[in-house]
Structure formats: C-alpha cells, structure tokens
Structure 1
C-alpha cells in the first residue's frame, strides 16, 4: 500500500513538473550534448536541421561559431576571416578604453575603413569551446554526502586542479572543470582563447544605446545593440599575443546570415553562454532573493544611480568616465526590480511551496531514504539562520563599499601588508609599483566630487540599519568627524590619500615604512577597515557556515528531484557560463502597451529628442530615414529594428546569435523584457521573452550609416 501511495505521489509531482514542459516545450538551457533528446520537441516547433548540425564532435557543428566574448558575453563568428558580432553594451568597456576627448567612440561611433584601421583591444579575449568531457567519476570517486563538507570540498578542489593541469598539458587548451546539478555532475571544458581581438565597428550611443536606462529591460525596443570585432591569430591559425604580423582567424564554421527575416510563430534558437540561473531552488532560498537581496540592492542602487545620472548629464568628461560603470549598475538595478515584480505577480514562492508539499509526501513514502522527509525542513532552518548575515552583507556591499574611495582603500590595505612583511627593498618597490598601475587604471575613470556625492547618498542609508548591519566603529568614526555624515564626507574627500592620484602616487613612489601611521589615519581607509573587519568577524563566518551547510542539502535536493521525477522529463542544469542552446518561437507578449513582436525605423525615428542624450538619434540616420534610403534592407517601406521571441535566456546571453530553423543568423540577442526577468528563477511562457536586434537593421547600419559595406562582402548572406 505504501509503495502504491509513493508511486502515486511521484506521478503527481511529475505531472506538476511536466505540465509546463509538455505544453510549453520552451523553457530550458540545454547542453549541446543533450540536444539529441530534445530533437523531436524542436522539430515539432519547426526546426529544419538535424541536431548534429548544431553540435558534433568532429568540429563542424555550429557550436564552433559561438564564442565567449570577454568574461561575460557571447559572440558569433560570421565570416571565414574571423569577423565577429556581439552586443554594443558588451563592447562598451573596450570602446570606452579606446576613446579619448578628441575621439569619443561612445558619442561618435567607430567604423574601420579597412583591416589596417581595426583597433587592438588590450585585455579583451574571445574563447571557443573545442571539447567537453564528463569527469564526474574521477571528481566524486570515494566521496559521500555524509562526510564533512569541508573535507569533501577540499578533495574535489584538489582533483579539479589536477584535472585542469593534466588536460591543459595534454591539449595546450584552457581547461576548466565546471559543476552541474548542484555538484552532482562535473564536466571539463577545453577552450581556445584568443587575445588579439580588434574593434571593427561600433555604432554611436544614439543607435547602439538608444533608449539606454529608460528602455532597458523593456518592450517595445528600437535599439541597435551590436558591435563588430575581428579575431586575429598567428600564422598557424592558433591563438597568439597581439602582433602586426597576426592574420585574421580562419574558423572551420561560421554563421550564414538570413536576410529574409521571420514571421510570428517561426522557430528560433539562441546559442550562448548564460551566466547563472537558479531554477531548482527551494522556496526558502527564493524568499530570501525576493524579500532580502533584491530589495536592498534596488534601494541602494537607486540612490547611487541618481547621483551618477545627474553628474553625467551635466559634464561630458564625467559622462565618459562613468558611462560603463553606470551602465553596469543600472542594468542590475532594473533587472532586480523586474525580477521582484515577476516573482510577486506569479506567486512563485507559493508555487514552490505547493510543489514542495508534494515532494515531502513522496519523500515520506520512500523507505529506502527515510532521511529525505527531513530534507526541506533542514533547508528551511539553515536558510532562515542566515537572514541577518545576508542583510548585513548586502547593505555593506551596496552602500559603504559602493563609495569608490572606500572600496579602493583595499589598495592601502595591500600597502600596509607589504610594509609589515620582511620583503627585500627591490621586491617591495616592485610590489608597490604594481599597486600604482592598478590605481592608475582606476583614476582614468574616477571623479572625486561625484564620489563625494555618492558618499552623501549611501552612508546615511547604511547608518539607518540596525546593529546587526552597522559596524560599531562606524559610529565612532562619524563622531570624530563632526558627528554628522556631511562633515564626515567633507573630511574623507578633503584628506584621504585615495581621492587624489597625485597623493597616491607620492605614497607609492616614495614608500617608507613609517607611512604606516599615515595610512592608518586616512579617513577613507578607516571606514574600509571598520566595515571589512566587522564583515570578517561577524558576517563572513555566519555566511561561510551557511554555505557549508546548504551545499550538501542543495546537492541532495537536486538529486532527489531528478530521481523522484524521473518519468520522462529531461532536466537541464542551471546555467553556469557553459555553452547552452535554448529554443522557442517569434512571439508577441500580452502586456500593457505591447501588441507587436517587431519594431521598425517607423517606431524609432519619431522618438528622437535632441535634448535627451539617450533619445538623440544621429542626424545621418534621420537623413537616411527622410530620404527612405534603405537600399536592399527595405521591408514594406521601412527597416525592421528589433523583435522578441520565447527563448529562455539569461545574463551572459548578451550578444548570442538568434538563429532560424535552418541555423542561420536572424538576430543578435541583447535583452529580456522586464516582466520576465524572473526567468533566472522561474520561467513563465506568458511573459518571458528575449529581445534581439534584427540582422537586417545591423547590416543596414553597417552599410548605409557606417559606410562600411566592405564588411558585408566577406559575410555569407542567404535568403
């Protein structure tokens, strides 16, 4: 009787979990090796090529044309000469670094007239995955879930290090072991990493960043969010450091570009490197995100962004310094706001709780693993015990350490550590010069007066929190600086070494061990020391114990979900910046103000507003529109700009190729819609949509606006 009841409950859970999959068949970020199992589902939605074309071990699959761009975006190869597309916002940091007051690529754009004019981007890399192998057996051999977690983790770390070294020595490729399914599986990823990457084309902000913060995470959109680079290699076609002698990389595979477009309902795929999802979390962990982490980040960043936005609007030099920082801060801020909204509107915590009740019934009926009935209660107790430490950590990171002068005081702490060491004079001098180089990079994009205003906005917010958040020494520091945050801020920004490049250089170039007291009396350093000491003493130990306790519980919970629900459902592992493919359809979304799946130039141009930077469309593009000078990119008297589809994407999918049913490039993914940003935690097919820039708009801008039609000659354009 018990066995029959257990089977019935398992089937009930499976029905709950499978209902979305069976009806929707659109959620999921699939590893390339899992695609064969999904092939039938993909074909039913409209896919017209075999999955072997998408991925195979011979090196001819389209996966070889997908790259990890930099450290957090995706790109795609589109020619036999290493030409690469990604997002404008992914290229923003590189374009900013190459810009000067006289050549501001952010405002004016950049279009190389020839390969010789392409600009090297120091520090930028492009990685291409060559092979993945399952190494679970080696990593987990002899390890149990009941052994001390610290010992288990130490052995896993040691084995991973051994594997990475061995695979690198054998292949000469970058080797990185990644964890899947909460540590139930491990795979090693072998990649070629190219470090000679050059900027080819970059639209001005009025195109590539049109709408900026106002439109970010929204639909409808009219943003030309793309940039063009080229990957260079040595004469053997292998990765090589930058050299004028390098030649364009010749990939085995690159994406053809379909210029016929798409219609609503058409099958689409997105290939890329999604950064992180947490689809299988318990309701208790999800509750922390919805009611603790996200709200704190939103509150603090709203204040910080208010300061930066005002400063950037009033001063072009500050705009150039802070453009990339502001973009990163704003992106997270708005994403978290949408995430909270989506979780609330969909009652996701409630849905998780209902699912967990069924799970507990199944666990109670499982005589083979009687401890499973206590799994979720243990998770609940463990999570709730970390609430106060999490609150303190989030406020510290987002407020006090959001002040750059305080944050960069970490470099003064490094100097102190060097003074206290018994290093020879020459080694000490070299170490101090390394710190100087780090700080020189920092000062390129730093404005002390702006940071002072950030201090005035964030520190009062921090001090309003309870004693579990505020470091005790902070009150004393404020007391000795006039006992109010205004005079305290004046003291910091008048007297700190960190706020002045000249003072910092003087310290680092003329180091004396007697400078220890100078550093310890520095007002910015004192704040840094106060909050970080409190963090290390009171907050970090709690969070460390929490992580040690929750890791085995999450691992077992994930394992049991897969076992109890193993009735045909294919589980995809949470995103972890490994190569994934997701699929869906071109599909409008039923939200207020949106009844379209595509936008065009006719939607874009009327939004021009010269007095608002993010809506200031370049005159040349407006001229093309007025003259209807669209060339071969005209569609029904206009040019398509953006479109949406139901592909399950995440951070890291920025720049990903959006493919049609034949594996041809039809768009470049750049965003999700606000109502669906919760898809990192819960995918709702009614509102979760990815946003892409139409390839016809990309090619139109390159050819007609950028006068760089020579680039199109090396692409493979199909209809």
Structure 2
C-alpha cells in the first residue's frame, strides 16, 4: 500500500483537477473550505457573488447564518434579532410538546403578536458554527504503516478527545472532530449551542403538513412546510438557559429574502447539514441496502403505520399523542420505497459493477495484497458473511424493539444494572430519579391499548423471519403463551408494569430489593431481554467484526478510487452532518406514471386537492377564503401565489429546513424534501431524477402576512427584489 497509494497531501489536487462542467446538474456536497476550488465551476453555473461571501475562513460570511436546528435539521437566520426559518416538520416535535387540548398548535397553528407572545420550547436548541478547519495531521499523529487497526483506532480516539478538550478549554466552544473520505481526512467543527428557543409562527397541519404521508416524497407538492422560531441569548449575547430576561440573539449575519421569485433554469444553492450519504460503496455493499435493509424496514413499518393510522383517524387525542412519532416512522417508510425504486430504475448495482471493472482495468499493474482487485474481493467476502447478521439486526430493531412497551423495557434493564452496581440508600434513590425522568416523558404520548394491537401485528411478522433473526428465547416465550399471539399480548399488557405509568413509577418512587425479581418476571422485560441477549451474544459480535474489517477496507478502497478514478468523477466527501453547500438549477420533471411536466406548484393546486373528509388534504377555511377573495396582496403572481418549486441540488436528510439561495446568496425558498425516485441520491446521484423540493419564500411570506396576521415580522427582515 505504501508504494501504490497516493500521499494524502495530493488528494485535494486530484479531486478538483479534472472536474467536468455539467450545465444541467451538479453532483456534490461541498465543504465550505472547498468552495474556492469550485469557484470557477460555480460561476459557470451562474453564481453572481464571490464565494468569499458564502464562506471565508476566519471572517464573517453567509455560512454564519446557517444553523443546526434541534438535533437533525437545518435552519437559517433571517433577521438581526435571531429570527430563524426552518421546516414545519423539523419543529413538529417541539410544537407538539408545547401543545395541549386547549391550545393545539398542530391543528390550529400559532402566530405570536409580538415578542412577549413567543412560546418557549423546552429541549429545543439552535447551534451556530463558529469555525471549521482540517486537523488530519493532529488526529493521525503517532500512526505508522506498521500500526494495527486496533492501535490505530485507539490512537485516533485519544487524539480526538485531546483535541476536542483543548478547543473547549481554549476557546470555550464545543468541538466535534469527524472523519472524511472514510477516515483519510479529519476536520473539526467548533459549535455554540443556544437552548432558549421560542416559537414565533407555525402554520396549522392543513398548510404545514398538507398532503401528509400521501404526498410525502412526491412531486408535485403543495406543502407550506415552514416554521418560525427565535433564538434568545443571555448577557453578552451568549448561550443561556431560558430566562424571561433573555434578549433576542443579535445576529451579525442573516439572509436577505428575495421576493422576485424563481423561473426554470435559475441558479440555486442549498446550504445545510446533510446527514448521511454513502456514494462510494461497492456494488455488494449497495446490495445490502437495496435487498436487505430497505425491504425489512418497509415491510415492518407498513404494519406499524397501518395500526397507528387507523387509530389516529378515529380519535383526535390519539392523533395528538402519535402525530410526531407517526410522521417520523412514515418518513423513512416512504423514503426507502423511493430509494429502491430509484436504484432499480438506474440499475445502480450494474453501474457500480461496471465502475469496479474500470477501476481494476486502470490498476492492472497493481497486483499486491492491497490492489483494487484484492480490496474488492475482500469486501465482497465480508459482505456475504455479514448478511445473515444484518437481517437479524434489522428485523429485530424494526419489529420487537419497535413495539413501544418492549423498547421501554430498556429502563427496567437500567434499574437492574443500578442494583447490580451496588449503590445504596441516597445514592440509589438519586440514581433512580435520574433514570425516571426519561421514562416519565414517554407516557405523555403512549396508548397501551394501541400498542397491544401493534404487538399482535408485528410479532407474527418477526416470528416468520428466516435464519438468525428470531431469538431462541422468544420462541420459547411464544410456546409458553400457547403459541397464540393474542394470548401472549394479553399477558404482556395485562401483567407488565410498563403498561401503566403508575406501576412503572413504583420502581423509582418506592424502590425495594425485591424489585429485581419482579422485573425479571415482567413479561415485557422478558421479551426485551431475550432479543437483546440474543443480539449481544450472537448477532452484534458478527456486526462488530464486519464493521472493523470494512473500516479498513473502505478506507483503502476510497484511497484507490481517488487515485485511479479522479479523471472519471467529481469526488467530494460523503455527508456526515457537517456544513455543506450544493448547487444546481431550477428544473422541472415529469414524474413516473404521469405526463405533467412542472417545476412549481401554486395555490390553485392546493385548493384543487382540498378534501374536508381527509385530514391530510383539509385546507383551512381561512386559506380557502383568501383564495376565493383573491386576497393575495403583494404576493400575487399572475393571479395566484407560488407555493413550491424543485431544483437539481444534491440534498439529503438533514437538509430539511436548509436555505435555498439564488445566485446572489439571497433566500428564495426553504428546502423540505426530495422527489420519490430521487431519494436514492444518498447512494447515487442521477441528474435526470434527483430533485430537491422547496417552499417558495413568497408563499411563506404570504402565509405570515395574510393567514397569520403577523406582518410585524417583516419589519426585522431584509426583503429585496
């Protein structure tokens, strides 16, 4: 490997030396530090400002206005007073948390009349990026070619901990070091998290979630998927816990909002935190996703959603309890269906096999143990050995552990672990009190009767899984319950302390030594322990061994791709929830099975789908009234209001809520989805199918002003033409 692989210092030169301009679409999720190398390509595509306005190391730029919203979405600062736009679905859980039967902000929406009206959202955070820099040399210090993989991992872990601690002590920021190019590079991001975040504006489900699960991942879309929040700061504009005396965060950088709109062919950019992509997998590794992981998840979630959806339609209280959970489960369920469809339409496995053949042809002179041919052969063997473990792992997580009462038995396991640790008296009660907090919150949004139905539907599916999937002890428990899933569920939900909050809390509020016996006899815990023990003893060791083996092989394979294939493709690091910019153009598409080519939707399309008998398509009466009166104000565009548009930006999960920018770096939309056939862009980008979907910012402003009666917010925004 020493003689045949290029030095790391030459990688960056290779990555950008052979870029080929494509006027239709541009694959890639670029790190801010890479933008200068992409400047010429971005200008050719239509960028009208220097890339230094988007990012310049050590200086203020628009990247400072892009934030991590919560734990997994993106948001953008749109005023000097810390006003943040993001997606409706990104704020959904937080808004559910502050909603009640009397004040149901999900159904009715919410609009603050002034700062004093803004609602604190406990547990919600907004995180700013303070600095990004490469630290590869520091992290790989002490590693030689003779270093074993185990030693390498230990050295890297120690170096990361040392560096992160140093940054925190020296600069006062949280530091996160992450690998890039499968561990060939390392970069650190310095973060500043604000925990006082308040709700400012939130359209009702009939706007913000219009189309619901039916339209999720589809095109055309008519969803006003946005929410408005504000960041508050303590003294010195620094992070502080919620306090009524905190002031709106003073933002040095925020996005101007362009109200001129978009047309097909316009240059666009998306700035955000894409979560995970795996563009450089082998064909065998891709097949694991396409043939094992996605099908298992889809089948299990179809069962779960069928049970939940029926109950949610019948009962508003159940709807409120399960809205956020259902949305999360449904999102993946539909996404993975589209991912498989896109992979099949593109024959991505076939294309990757052909790519691997070309790689081996270009490296014929490399015949050593770490040649591309040898590396691919070793990866294929590792994948084949891992597939049974993978099936067992995925099926258990999506079925048994996806049943709520079984999943919550993890808290009972923690109680047992506490007793086993030997703590007593006050130390025991204090430790149990900390654990109790997590379980307590669970019951606010839990229905044992509904969960029992889920058990009776999911457990048979799990029981029929092949190979290693079914834990032997689960088979024994099934037999002990008369080989009858109905009888088994009655036993679990009739006898488990977890089925009733007060019974579960007894273990924390009045602990006694005999609790350990009761827990071990708890029927929900017995199932949990059966599958966890089976995974720990028989499944997880195989998964861990596979991960260790492929960590090395994938790192080598990535090096080989960079060395031999840089003239064929445009390399960029896979997404890992670090800040990235992607660029493309507004471009329509004709969805599969239709003949309608389009790049945007309008309010007419929203109204045309109105159906009062289907909650997903029930347009609020006030919006229908605005439509009937054509009361659009300044947001009137040829007799209607633009709602959404699509473009060719390469996005992923985590880009939800990302700012969609024009050639001048001005906000023109809020990214919220991809089209169904393009969801495979996490694994393979196809310019003919991949489209990101954004709410047109003019629809956002129209809803704020005409529906929410909150034009006071415009006074702090910079609206430009």
Q: TM-score range by the shorter chain?
A: over 0.9
Q: Note the C-alpha offset of 1:133.
A: 1.4
The residue aligned with 1:5 is none
The residue aligned with 2:276 is 276
Q: Note the C-alpha offset of 1:421.
A: 2.4
The residue aligned with 2:640 is 638
Is 1:651 the counterpart of 2:639? The answer is no
The residue aligned with 1:451 is 451
The residue aligned with 1:8 is none
User: Deviation per CA, 1:650-703, whole angstroms, max 9, x where unpaired?
Assistant: 000000000000000000000000010000000000010000000000000000
The residue aligned with 1:11 is none
Q: 1:363 to 1:370 in 2, by over 3 A?
A: farther
The residue aligned with 2:668 is 666
The more displaced of 231-240 and 213-222 is 231-240
**Contact residue 21 and residue 27 of structure 1 kept, 8 A:** no
Q: How does 1:331-342 map to 2 (within 5 A)?
A: 331-342=331-342
**Contact residue 271 and residue 656 of structure 1 kept, 8 A:** yes
User: Deviation per CA, 1:566-617, whole angstroms, max 9, x where unpaired?
Assistant: 4496521000000000000000013243411011011111211111111111
The residue aligned with 1:7 is none
The more displaced of 145-154 and 444-453 is 145-154
**Contact residue 82 and residue 231 of structure 2 kept, 8 A:** yes
Q: How does 1:33-432 map to 2 (within 5 A)?
A: 33-144=33-144, 147-366=147-366, 371-432=371-432
Listed as ranges, the gaps of 5+ residues in structure 2 are: 1-13
**Contact residue 656 and residue 671 of structure 2 kept, 8 A:** yes
The residue aligned with 1:571 is 571
The more displaced of 679-688 and 227-236 is 227-236
User: Deviation per CA, 1:322-360, whole angstroms, max 9, x where unpaired?
Assistant: 000000000000000000000011000000000001111
Is 1:684 the counterpart of 2:686? The answer is yes
Mapped to 2, the partners of 1:468 and 1:186 lie a distance apart of 37
Listed as ranges, the gaps of 5+ residues in structure 1 are: 1-13
Mapped to 2, the partners of 1:463 and 1:18 lie a distance apart of 52
Measured on the aligned residues, the alpha-carbon RMSD in Å equals 1.7
The more displaced of 370-379 and 671-680 is 370-379
Mapped to 1, the partners of 2:86 and 2:161 lie a distance apart of 32
Q: Note the C-alpha offset of 1:634.
A: 0.3
Q: Note the C-alpha offset of 1:467.
A: 4.2
Residue in structure 2 matching 1:708, options 697, 707, 710: 710
Mapped to 2, the partners of 1:222 and 1:334 lie a distance apart of 18
Q: How does 1:560-639 map to 2 (within 5 A)?
A: 560-567=560-567, 570-591=570-591, 592-593=593-594, 594-639=596-641
SS at match of 1:182: coil
SS at match of 2:709: coil
**Contact residue 233 and residue 248 of structure 2 kept, 8 A:** yes
* TM-score, length of structure 2 as denominator length: 0.96
Mapped to 1, the partners of 2:208 and 2:465 lie a distance apart of 40
**Contact residue 277 and residue 652 of structure 2 kept, 8 A:** yes
Q: 1:678 to 1:75 in 2, by over 3 A?
A: same
User: Deviation per CA, 1:85-117, whole angstroms, max 9, x where unpaired?
Assistant: 000000000000000111000000010011011
**Contact residue 294 and residue 336 of structure 2 kept, 8 A:** yes
Q: Note the C-alpha offset of 1:496.
A: 0.5
**Contact residue 257 and residue 664 of structure 1 kept, 8 A:** yes
Mapped to 2, the partners of 1:532 and 1:678 lie a distance apart of 31
**Contact residue 19 and residue 570 of structure 2 kept, 8 A:** no
Q: 1:368 to 1:407 in 2, by over 3 A?
A: closer
Mapped to 1, the partners of 2:566 and 2:708 lie a distance apart of 54
**Contact residue 54 and residue 62 of structure 1 kept, 8 A:** yes
* TM-score, length of structure 1 as denominator length: 0.96
User: Deviation per CA, 1:175-203, whole angstroms, max 9, x where unpaired?
Assistant: 11011000000011001111111110010
Q: Note the C-alpha offset of 1:244.
A: 1.2
Mapped to 1, the partners of 2:566 and 2:546 lie a distance apart of 30
Mapped to 2, the partners of 1:473 and 1:65 lie a distance apart of 53
